[in-house]
Structure 1
């Protein structure tokens, strides 16, 4: 595991220490969690930006747009079948679950 030296403003260090005491975790663990969340969020933002750019390119190209609509129509029966199967499985799960007993009886 890598070791880092980090300079924090006094107020941020105070808040970090307060949170560490409050939740009973070491400060380093809180920093690792925060850094992981930040990196995950930024990766997701970059992915969404790339998907948006690709969608804009497809939407601006008339032939690509027509082809994607044709492909979507080809997959529509399979999508509908998958949705029906999922809904059927979900309704079976709900009916198979025992009803909770009333605690006051």
Structure 2
């Protein structure tokens, strides 16, 4: 595993040391976890920004927008059925009633 040195402000180094003592982990492990979380969050933000950009591009294109609305309308009955099944399952779980045989069997 490659290693590198890192300069931290005193306050941040103090807080890192306190957290390491509190949770019983090495400081290097805490830094790795923080870096992994930061990178995961930034990757997710870039992915979401790409989805938003693509959706906005489709929204500005009248023919693509019309096609998207048609597809959504085609899937609406199946979406409603799936939601009703999910709500029924959740309701049965909350009341302790046995679940019926799955519809796909």
Identify the TM-score tier after normalising by the shorter chain: 0.7 to 0.9
User: How far did 1:71 drift?
Assistant: 0.2
Distance in structure 2 (CA, Å) of the matches to 1:85 and 1:11: 53
Equivalent residue pairs, number: 97
- Determine the structure 2 residue equivalent to 1:29: 29
What TM-score do you get using the length of structure 2 for normalisation?
0.85
User: How far did 1:10 drift?
Assistant: 2.1
Distance in structure 2 (CA, Å) of the matches to 1:2 and 1:80: 52
- Per-residue CA distance 1:28-81 (angstroms, 9 max, x = gap): 111111111101110111011101100110010000000000000000000001
Distance in structure 2 (CA, Å) of the matches to 1:10 and 1:81: 58
- Determine the structure 1 residue equivalent to 2:40: 40
Distance in structure 1 (CA, Å) of the matches to 2:56 and 2:86: 31
Q: State the SS of the aligned residue for 1:47.
A: helix
User: How far did 1:7 drift?
Assistant: 2.0
Q: Which runs of 5 or more residues in structure 2 are unaligned?
A: 98-105
Q: State the SS of the aligned residue for 1:69.
A: helix
Q: State the SS of the aligned residue for 1:88.
A: helix
